[in-house]
Structure 1
């Protein structure tokens, strides 16, 4: 599996996690009233689930597939922004 495919799967998992976190916060708010605890649990859960994002780095130069300069975006690059390596191609042996 290519780096891009792994990073893409992570992005899709995070989109589902975000949806679940939103539903969780809304359900707690509906059942118990406004709760900053539920919001905090959702935020910490999303941060914890997103930690693997830092491991999707270009094998040639180490640049992260989710970073565009200093800005982090929710979808990975197919081509490394630093060295131009095609991240959606299998690794060369």
Structure 2
């Protein structure tokens, strides 16, 4: 798993490409799943996650984009407002 920037261009199975943030905008909120990754100093660290299938995986492997959003506002945007941080991870794994 490798962290990628929000403007990373990724291949889709239909031959098109899109940036990670564009793929995030297409994910229905109903597909987000809340997952706990560990206990932190202030309690459990929970994130909403979604997975988007990508093209371009080597034979016998699968390539996906894991999108992770914090469940509480923790980052300031350009307007100075607190928002939930979103991170993107490129994954190669067995199907």
TM-score bracket relative to the smaller structure: under 0.3
TM-score computed with the length of structure 1 as normaliser: 0.23
Name the structure with the higher strand share. 2
TM-score computed with the length of structure 2 as normaliser: 0.23
Higher relative contact order (CA 8 A, sep 6+): 1
For the pair shown, the structure with the greater C-alpha radius of gyration is 1
Name the structure with the higher helix share. 1
